[in-house]
Amino acid sequence: MYAHRRCETLHASATNTLTKLAVPLALILAILVLVERILALLTSGQDSSLLTLVSRSSNNENLKQVEVELKELYAHPVEHPRRPGTSASRGVSGSDERLNEIEVLLARVDVAQENGEDPLKVELLREKLKLFQLSTAVDTAMLPQLQDLLVTPRHGGYLKEHFHAYGYAVVDTDLPHTLLDQAVNKLSWEYPNFKKGYRVQDAWKDVMEVKRIALHQSLLDVLVSLYGRKPRAFQTLNFAQGTEQPMHQDTIHFQSEPEGWMCAIWIAMEDVTIRNGPLAFYKGSNKLKAFTMTDFQLQPTADDYPKYEESLLKQNYDEMPLELGILRKGQALIWDANLVHGGSRRLDKESTRFSQVTHFFFEGTKYYTPMLSQGKKKTYRDPVWVH
């Protein structure tokens, strides 16, 4: 009886203590959850560039080695996708050794993922794989495995900040795959040269699906949010294959007056892989000036354009990683007109790379062609807006 009462007393006092603790405990828990949410929110939309990853992970001993290796890799010059006037080849020799290293890396990513290791480590390994890809001509059965690891990160919460800091952003779109497929089919019927690898300009005039992609409302909305002005599509280009186009800024072809009101949306109409010539660009090169023919002591003529491409490549890109636009079907890469970009080499010459790029000006400016302009003598444009 005594024991029973003592037990009851103990139980009551324990309940009492628990009740007293419940409120502060719940509060602490709520604060912890809130902090975790805020941290997750802060990191989810952030750019996963090497530098960000390195700084975010600098206190993690496990990552130190990967960091060192990555920095060494960045220290090695990465070849340009294609330099005008030189052979387009990148060294294939010694690739066996590289392939072994890639295999080891792939295994390390697997192990890291299986062990539930820091996602930053996985990200760093992924970056490293990408660099191997850029510095090596790899054409093996391993590529499908690499593809998943290489897909260019898309940017959510910090889209605008990322776009203006680095000159591009990758977004998922709600473009139906059936629309993309129909566009490709109709382009193939309407333009016999399309599948032979020729680009088709302004197919929006003939192919309704191309127009629907160019004027897709949710993409126009993204542009409004990025630039704060109404975009106006003035050109579409469709490609059946990777272009291997030399690096350039769109501002040499299309410029607004005042500057800064031109951009492009590039849609993957099928998966873009390392094999089929993804878009290549210098991350952050939007911060460079918009180079003109005069800047390179060239004449404002199409004849001098190849020299412009050569001169542009001689600029200093040391702090700017060369990125590849490896996208899934339906994803879009938006770039600012100043971004230095081109088409990387097609490892698989037979591969298709169905894609559409739409070029946009924004309302309230004048438009001209810098390649054909000199100083105040400008060749103005009277664009035909996609409608």
80 binds ligand AKG (CB under 6 A): no
357 binds ligand AKG (CB under 6 A): yes
Q: Which of 132, 135, 113 is nearest to 122 (CA)?
A: 113
The residue range among 69-77, 140-148, 206-214, 241-249 that interacts with ligand AKG, by the rule CB under 6 A, is: 241-249
Candidate residues 343, 356, 370, 371; the one interacting with ligand AKG per rule CB under 6 A:
343
Distance of closest approach, residue 200 Cβ to ligand AKG, in angstroms: 12
Distance of closest approach, residue 237 Cβ to ligand AKG, in angstroms: 5
Q: Which residues, in sequence order, are CB contacts of 329 under 8 Å at separation 6+?
A: 177, 180, 268, 269, 270, 271
267 binds ligand AKG (CB under 6 A): no
245 binds ligand AKG (CB under 6 A): yes
Candidate residues 120, 146, 207, 237; the one interacting with ligand AKG per rule CB under 6 A:
237
The arrangement of strands across the sheet holding 231-239 comes to: 168-171, 332-336, 262-268, 355-362, 231-239, 200-201
Burial degree of 22 (CB within 10 A; 0-12, 13-18, 19+): exposed
Distance of closest approach, residue 353 Cβ to ligand AKG, in angstroms: 8
Instruction: State whether residue 241 is helix, strand or coil.
Output: coil
Instruction: Report which DSSP code applies to 307.
Output: H
The residue range among 5-13, 35-43, 132-140, 339-347 that interacts with ligand AKG, by the rule CB under 6 A, is: 339-347
The residue range among 54-62, 105-113, 156-164, 237-245 that interacts with ligand AKG, by the rule CB under 6 A, is: 237-245
Q: Which residues, in sequence order, are CB contacts of 285 under 8 Å at separation 6+?
A: 167, 249, 317, 320, 338, 339, 340
Which residues does residue 367 pair with via DSSP β-bridges, in sequence order?
A: 256
Candidate residues 279, 312, 327, 371; the one interacting with ligand AKG per rule CB under 6 A:
279
Distance of closest approach, residue 239 Cβ to ligand AKG, in angstroms: 6
The residue range among 2-10, 67-75, 340-348, 374-382 that interacts with ligand AKG, by the rule CB under 6 A, is: 340-348
309 binds ligand AKG (CB under 6 A): no
Distance of closest approach, residue 279 Cβ to ligand AKG, in angstroms: 5
Hunting for tokens 């680009």 — which residue is that?
199
Q: Which of 184, 166, 177 is nearest to 334 (CA)?
A: 166
- CB-based closest residue to ligand AKG: 343
Q: How far is CA 118 from CA 60, 65, 268, in A?
A: 9, 14, 31
Binding site for ligand AKG (CB under 6 A): 237, 239, 242-243, 245, 250, 264, 279, 341-343, 355, 357
